[in-house]
Structure formats: C-alpha cells, structure tokens
Amino acid sequence: MARLLPRRVIEGAMATLPALDQALLTRSEFQQGFIAMIREAFLAGPHGAHWDTALMISPWDLRPHDIRLAVYLWHG
C-alpha cells in the first residue's frame, strides 16, 4: 500500500498518531522518511506486522506487575 498509495498511508497515520507525530508528518521530508520506513517494514510481506498486532492485543500469560527483576523495554 505504501508503494502504491503513499498519500493514503500518510492520511491514515495522521488520523491515528498523537499530535506531535502529526505535526512532524505535515513536513514533506518526514513524509518521505515515513513512507520509506513503511515500505521497508513490509518488504517481506505483512505477516510480521500482523503477528506484532496479534500479540499486542492478545491476553498475556503473565501480569507485568508480578515481574520481580529489572526489565528494560526497547521498542522502535
């Protein structure tokens, strides 16, 4: 979709992203980088993004507040 309809991808992102991200996406140089990132992310197909979303919205087998040691989350 990003390859064929980059304008639509930007419009979809603008509808869901926080205000600060929306402000950046009004700038053409950020739009170009954003589209390039989306294209790269889906280069091998949509399966990785689908799996990430499924994991994010599915119930976990643990409660994060039960973890008793230091945890560092890296994202992005």
Domain chopping of the chain, boundaries: 6-58
Q: Which two tokens stand for residue 61?
A: 């087998």
> Would the pLDDT of 2 be above 60?
no
For the whole model, what pTM was predicted?
0.60
Q: How far apart are CA 35 and CA 9, in angstroms?
A: 8
- Note the pLDDT of residue 31: 92
For the stretch 20-71, pLDDT in tens is 999 999 999 999 999 998 888 888 888 988 898 898 889 888 888 899 999 9
CA distance 9 to 6: 5
* Per-residue pLDDT at 3: 59
pLDDT at 62: 86
User: Cα separation of 54 and 58, whole Å?
Assistant: 6
**Average pLDDT over every residue of 6-24:** 90
Residue in the block written with tokens 């990132």 = 37
Contacts of 3 (CB under 8 A, 6+ apart): 39
